[in-house]
């Protein structure tokens, strides 16, 4: 049987009354003296009537044919049937003492007198609410006509109100909407779940269905497609969601549009036309436990550049709108932010393509017409409000010249105009806004290419033999045709890894995708750099040198300073030296070193200072180096001073004090450098009155002060706390965790949980960005058993069985803990998900002086079992280059280039050749560009060169006419060859054995110089160790390769790869 939630009822009724009582003289309440909120008969055709929504808000149920009267003094009267009064009776007399409400009175309907007594009671309460000739009574004005016609007790009371000459009705829909717009915690939780439901239906239902239709070339109408999506919402089990069907409904019938006929209004409907593979817009809304959510996405199939650029503008405009959605800002500011962005970005023509409003408040009511994001709405955002932000452009012209580069078979060719739609749920919190529908919407996530240019060209058979490619794109097409015997490959390129494997396999397809990806990434990086340059301001400017001041005046010198004595002032960090009988102070940071030679007849003390003209060295204080650089052009520097004394006591003591003071100053500077970029973390809020998830007997890495750190890990309200057995405490906040990784013990000796942080924290005296907690399954020192036992040894079998059971038990314990942490984080409005490394995509490599097993996760490339940890955030990777890729080598190196060119690239050396194709497939699926080459490169020099190149990602020189290779294309093994076959033949004929030897010596010198140029911070692992194990060193390999080339040359069979290298070096 249904029960009334009394606490929630009085809390929400109190919120309504409190706002009404304080602001009833304002325009949203119409100066009403009381609220008469009538609900007519049941009407399932319109579930979003304000009276229906209000009943769900107050009671949790709809109570048809019910009258609610609320006076500004706080008296509440409810007139309803007997059963409804019984339902409400538990709340009578239980008004909270802190509430502004005075009481609750239930009036049971009485057929005997036609409710005359009840009506009299209600009218008396209205008349008593305020003195005056005219009383304003607040009603839902739009519902009055239907109420008068439904023939119920509500219709009769509507007539009574009209008959009273002293009563004038006013509309209070806006006031009720404003109160209900601010959600409490339970409402926010339901709205988040509703948003997740819409998100999952779009992600796991709509998108796969659209891809299936395109891949299979099915004929489906927009109405049929909308019906399928509606069925998914009504029955989430169709997409493997375990949500009760009775808790879920559609907010509206989903809308699918394509083919050039677009309507970006919320009231749009799907037509009966067949879905076209051009620009597809999908919008849907799910209703979970009566709370609504909305999401809309646009999918681009074979998009021309104008369409892609317009979509990028839409994404950037959404970012600006989200910034305007913050507590205290007006709702109309969102529309203004969108218009200002379009003007500032040079897209003023798109302003007229915007909808009339950019969204609305959402909750129990799908679309609150009084809380819209229109250009004139003066209402302000408040924390707890939830909006659906609906952005789009409609009727954007698509001229013929914008479609010229599109494949002739693409459906986009037939469009003369297009529309774009993007909608997300946005919650307002104290810090700003938060997007609740997390479905990816970047251009790479919603773009599909189903008609590639190469397909159009591959239909025409080539009569002549294939020529040398003129560029990367031509090369990929040539390789693809040769690899498929001249037949056309698959018709699609899908973005998901499994779809890609089904559509096309092999190096030719991968190369084609990489060429297209390289072009797109260059454009994206140009836009990113442009945005960062606008936002960067003066962040890149280094801090100014700070002037040194030990004493303000000479009176501040220590009292025991003598004219001809060296004195060390430890408190003020300076050394007072006698110069011509006058004590002169020198700050300790200006002293480079101090020397005390062995005493002879006298004792000498030599002090060297930092000065211009000499390198200050890497150990020099940063501020001192800046001061030397600042004053070097015009100041005179003291380079050295020597003091002599017959009494060794004073100089020896001064020497010791100076060394100690330098040590303290150096330690202080290092500590300040460590703590310079630390971000202050919030304090841990410990969970009380409920069980805290805990993992016991864990070991933490990195350790405190070089000691093995063991203890327990607990999950609290806003973070995790590790307490060691020595009572050392480390707190990790949920909002500081960038990636959380759980790695079970399958072939490893440990099961672990790893946290990669957004901002480093102090562990002991060092900053750490990676924190790990693990338990060893088998002690590392016992994993290798020197004794050989029989495979049938019972003890051996028992040990193995116990180890398997221990692995299983620990894996389950860590897995359960991760689930509990995830639950606690979500309960406290934090987003935390644990990734598990993909073992089947792992490979061996050497990132830090030893061979380890490296595995990708959803967002990273990691090795977590060995220290130092190897964690590469893929979002920070700009490009990947493979070195030492030759037919003869058994291993290659991988360099991952950081988007921040000031940081050195990551390296993984000695990766087995058999893993190269799998790694390249994975990189392509992750949409990371890669190149490969036969030799190691001097990355320090390369990064210094490109960091100063403003046109690095552009394909032209500064004159904007001369073409050049854009971005990382210059690293490709196969470049653009301009020479024809005849020139190549001449080179071959003129190539002599002496030139072979000369080129080999040059190549060897280059390799040696590049190896010498590597910094000390790079890997010390010798890449030739595996070769040495076979009895051959690098020089032996070079000599053998030279001899082999000479033999091939004499037989007239030198390989094409060698020719290419020689030719490039000649140029």
Q: What is the pLDDT of residues 226-258, one digit of tens each?
A: 999 999 999 999 988 888 888 999 999 999 999
Residue in 135, 160, 187 with CA at minimum distance from that of residue 38: 160
Say which residue, 123 or 1011, is predicted with more confidence.
123
Q: What is the mean pLDDT of residues 95-115?
A: 89
Q: What is the DSSP string of 639-667?
A: -EEEEEES-HHHHHHHHHHHHHHHHHHHH
Residue pair 466/457 in contact by the 8 Å Cβ criterion? no
The encoded tokens of residue 966 equal 């854009």
Place 160 in a pLDDT band, splitting at 50, 70 and 90: confident
pLDDT in tens, 271-286: 999 999 999 999 999 9
Q: What is the DSSP string of 1010-1031?
A: HHHHS-TTS----TTHHHHHTT
Provide, rounded to the nearest whole percent, the portion of the chain with pLDDT above 90.
43
Provide, rounded to the nearest whole percent, the portion of the chain with pLDDT above 70.
83
The three-class DSSP label of residue 711 is strand
pLDDT in tens, 493-534: 444 444 444 434 467 778 888 888 888 888 888 887 777 766
Residue in 36, 79, 65 with CA at minimum distance from that of residue 152: 65
d(CA 278, CA 301): 5
Please state the pTM of the whole predicted model: 0.49
The encoded tokens of residue 581 equal 């009988």
DSSP 974: S
The three-class DSSP label of residue 691 is coil
Say which residue, 802 or 467, is predicted with more confidence.
802
Residue 361 has pLDDT above 90, yes or no: yes
Q: What is the DSSP string of 285-298?
A: -EEETTEE--EEEE
Residue in 117, 109, 110, 108 with CA at minimum distance from that of residue 160: 117
Burial of 119 (0-12, 13-18, 19+ CB in 10 A): buried
Q: What is the mean pLDDT of residues 935-952?
A: 87
Question: Which range has the worst mean pLDDT, 248-262, 264-278, 483-497, 852-866?
Answer: 483-497
Residue 1062 has pLDDT above 50, yes or no: no
Place 411 in a pLDDT band, splitting at 50, 70 and 90: confident
Name, in order, each residue with C-beta under 8 angstroms of 647's C-beta and a sequence gap of 6 or more: 603
Place 1032 in a pLDDT band, splitting at 50, 70 and 90: low
Residue 552 has pLDDT above 90, yes or no: no
Average pLDDT, the chain: 82
Residue pair 1042/997 in contact by the 8 Å Cβ criterion? yes
Cis peptide, bond prior to residue 868, ω within 30 of zero: yes
pLDDT in tens, 286-297: 999 999 999 999
pLDDT in tens, 825-840: 998 889 889 999 999 8
pLDDT in tens, 307-350: 999 999 999 999 999 999 999 999 999 999 999 999 999 999 99
What's the pLDDT at 1047? 62
Three-state SS letters, 777-798: CCCHHHCCCCCCCCCCCHHHHH
Say which residue, 913 or 134, is predicted with more confidence.
913
pLDDT in tens, 375-395: 999 999 999 999 999 999 999
Place 1017 in a pLDDT band, splitting at 50, 70 and 90: very low
d(CA 922, CA 911): 15
Place 355 in a pLDDT band, splitting at 50, 70 and 90: very high
The three-class DSSP label of residue 119 is helix
Residue pair 410/447 in contact by the 8 Å Cβ criterion? no
d(CA 1033, CA 796): 42
Residue 998 has pLDDT above 50, yes or no: no
The encoded tokens of residue 115 equal 């409710």
d(CA 253, CA 241): 20
Place 587 in a pLDDT band, splitting at 50, 70 and 90: very high
d(CA 995, CA 1001): 10
d(CA 187, CA 290): 10
The CA-CA-CA angle for residues 503, 504, 509, to 5°, reads 140
The alpha carbon of residue 211 and the mean position of all alpha carbons in its chain are separated, in whole angstroms, by 25
Residue 112 has pLDDT above 90, yes or no: no
Question: Which range has the worst mean pLDDT, 138-147, 172-181, 471-480?
Answer: 471-480
Place 47 in a pLDDT band, splitting at 50, 70 and 90: confident
The three-class DSSP label of residue 147 is helix
What's the pLDDT at 1061? 42
CB atoms < 10 A from the CB of 697, how many? Answer: 10
Name, in order, each residue with C-beta under 8 angstroms of 556's C-beta and a sequence gap of 6 or more: none
The encoded tokens of residue 1055 equal 């390989």
Q: Which residue has the tokens 């990790």?
A: 732
Q: What is the mean pLDDT of residues 718-734?
A: 92
d(CA 412, CA 833): 39
What's the pLDDT at 286? 94
What's the pLDDT at 999? 43
Residue 11 has pLDDT above 60, yes or no: yes
Residue pair 295/200 in contact by the 8 Å Cβ criterion? no
The number of residues making up the chain comes to 1067
How far is the CA of 470 from the CAs of 143, 152, 473, 474, 478, in angstroms?
72, 83, 8, 6, 10
Residue 902 has pLDDT above 70, yes or no: yes
């Amino acid at each position: 049987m249904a029960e009334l939630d009394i606490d929630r009822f009085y809390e929400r009724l109190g919120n309504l009354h409190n706002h009404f009582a304080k602001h009833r003289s304002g325009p949203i309440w119409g100066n009403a003296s009381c609220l008469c909120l009538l609900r007519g008969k049941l009407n399932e055709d319109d579930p979003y009537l304000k009276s229906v929504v209000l009943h769900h808000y107050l009671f949790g149920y709809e109570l048809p044919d019910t009258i609610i009267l609320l006076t500004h003094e706080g008296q509440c009267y409810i007139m309803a049937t007997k059963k409804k009064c019984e339902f409400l009776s538990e709340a009578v007399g239980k008004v909270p003492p802190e509430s502004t409400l005075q009481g609750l009175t239930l009036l049971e309907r009485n057929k005997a007198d036609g409710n005359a007594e009840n009506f009299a009671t209600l009218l008396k309460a209205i008349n008593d609410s305020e003195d005056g000739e005219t009383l304003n009574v607040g009603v839902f004005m739009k519902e009055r006509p239907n109420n008068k016609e439904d023939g119920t007790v509500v219709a009769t009371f509507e007539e009574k109100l009209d008959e009273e000459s002293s009563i004038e009705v006013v509309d209070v829909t806006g006031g009720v909407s404003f109160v209900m717009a601010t959600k409490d915690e339970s409402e926010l939780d339901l709205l988040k779940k509703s948003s997740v439901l819409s998100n999952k239906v779009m992600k796991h239902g709509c998108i796969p269905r659209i891809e299936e239709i395109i891949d299979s070339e099915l004929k489906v109408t927009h109405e049929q497609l909308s019906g399928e999506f509606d069925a998914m919402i009504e029955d989430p089990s169709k997409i493997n969601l375990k949500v009760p069907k009775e808790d879920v409904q559609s907010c509206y019938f989903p809308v699918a549009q394509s083919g050039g006929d677009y309507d970006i209004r919320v009231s749009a409907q799907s037509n009966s036309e067949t879905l076209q593979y051009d620009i597809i817009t999908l919008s849907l809304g799910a209703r979970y436990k009566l709370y609504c959510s909305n999401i809309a996405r646009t999918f681009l199939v074979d998009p021309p550049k104008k369409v892609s650029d317009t979509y990028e503008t839409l994404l950037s405009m959404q970012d600006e709108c989200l910034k305007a959605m913050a507590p205290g800002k007006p709702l109309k500011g969102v529309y203004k932010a969108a218009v200002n962005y379009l003007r500032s970005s040079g897209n003023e023509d798109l302003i007229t393509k915007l909808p009339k409003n950019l969204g609305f408040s959402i909750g129990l009511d799908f679309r609150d017409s009084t809380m819209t994001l229109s250009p004139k709405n003066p209402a302000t955002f408040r924390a707890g409000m939830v909006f659906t932000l609906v952005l789009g452009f409609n009727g954007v012209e698509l001229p013929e010249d914008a479609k010229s580069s599109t494949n002739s078979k693409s459906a986009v060719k037939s469009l003369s105009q297009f529309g774009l739609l993007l909608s997300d749920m946005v919650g307002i919190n104290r810090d700003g806004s938060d997007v609740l529908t997390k479905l990816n919407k970047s251009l790479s996530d919603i773009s599909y290419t189903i008609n590639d240019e190469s397909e159009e060209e591959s239909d025409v058979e080539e009569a002549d033999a294939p020529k040398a490619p003129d560029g990367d794109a031509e090369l990929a097409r040539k390789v693809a045709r040769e690899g498929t015997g001249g037949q056309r490959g698959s018709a699609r390129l899908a973005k998901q890894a499994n779809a890609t494997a089904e559509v096309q396999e092999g190096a030719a397809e991968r190369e084609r995708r990489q060429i297209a990806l390289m072009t797109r990434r260059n454009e994206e990086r140009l836009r990113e750099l442009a945005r960062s340059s606008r936002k960067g301001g003066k962040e890149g400017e280094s801090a100014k040198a700070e002037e040194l001041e030990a004493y303000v005046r000479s009176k501040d010198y220590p009292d025991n300073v003598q004219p001809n004595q060296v004195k060390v002032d430890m408190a003020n960090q300076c050394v007072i030296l006698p110069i011509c009988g006058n004590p002169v102070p020198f700050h300790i940071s200006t002293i480079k070193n101090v020397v005390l030679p062995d005493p002879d007849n006298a004792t000498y003390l030599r002090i060297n200072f930092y000065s211009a003209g000499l390198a200050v060295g890497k150990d020099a204080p940063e501020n001192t180096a800046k001061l030397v650089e600042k004053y070097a052009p015009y100041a005179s520097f003291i380079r050295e001073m020597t003091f002599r004394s017959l009494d060794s006591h004073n100089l020896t003591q001064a020497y010791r004090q100076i060394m100690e003071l330098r040590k303290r100053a150096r330690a202080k500077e290092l500590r300040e450098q460590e703590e310079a970029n630390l971000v202050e973390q919030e304090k841990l809020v410990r969970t009380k009155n409920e069980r805290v998830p805990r993992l016991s007997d864990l070991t933490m890495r990195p350790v405190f002060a070089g000691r093995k750190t063991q203890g327990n890990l607990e999950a609290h309200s806003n973070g995790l706390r590790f307490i060691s057995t020595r009572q050392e405490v480390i707190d990790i906040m949920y909002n500081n965790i960038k990636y959380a990784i759980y790695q079970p013990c399958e072939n490893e000796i440990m099961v672990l949980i790893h946290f990669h942080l957004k901002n480093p924290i102090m562990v002991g005296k060092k900053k750490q960005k990676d924190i790990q907690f693990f338990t060893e399954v088998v002690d590392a020192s016992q994993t290798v058993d020197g004794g050989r036992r029989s495979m049938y040894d019972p003890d051996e079998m028992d040990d193995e069985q116990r180890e398997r059971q221990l692995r299983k038990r620990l894996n389950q314990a860590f897995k359960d803990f991760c689930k509990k942490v995830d639950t606690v984080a979500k309960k406290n409005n934090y987003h935390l998900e644990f990734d598990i490394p993909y073992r089947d995509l792992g490979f061996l490599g050497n990132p830090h002086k030893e061979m380890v097993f490296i595995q990708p996760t959803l967002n990273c490339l990691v090795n977590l079992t060995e220290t130092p940890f190897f964690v590469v955030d893929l979002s920070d990777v700009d490009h990947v280059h493979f070195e030492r890729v030759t037919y003869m080598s058994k291993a290659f190196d991988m360099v991952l280039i950081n988007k921040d060119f000031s940081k050195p690239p990551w390296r993984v050396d000695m990766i087995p050749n058999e893993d190269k194709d799998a790694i390249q497939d994975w990189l392509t699926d992750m949409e990371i560009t890669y190149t490969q080459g036969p030799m190691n490169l001097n990355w320090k020099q390369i990064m210094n060169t490109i960091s100063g190149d403003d046109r690095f990602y552009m394909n032209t020189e500064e004159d904007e006419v001369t073409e050049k290779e854009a971005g990382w294309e210059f690293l490709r093994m196969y470049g653009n060859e301009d020479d024809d076959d005849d020139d190549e033949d001449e080179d071959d004929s003129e190539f002599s054995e002496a030139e072979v030897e000369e080129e080999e010596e040059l190549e060897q010198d280059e390799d040696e110089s590049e190896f010498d140029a590597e910094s000390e911070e790079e890997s010390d692992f010798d890449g030739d160790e595996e070769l040495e194990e076979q009895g051959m060193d690098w020089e032996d390999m070079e000599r053998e390769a030279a001899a082999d080339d000479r033999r091939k040359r004499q037989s007239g069979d030198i390989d094409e790869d060698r020719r290419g290298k020689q030719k490039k070096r000649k140029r």
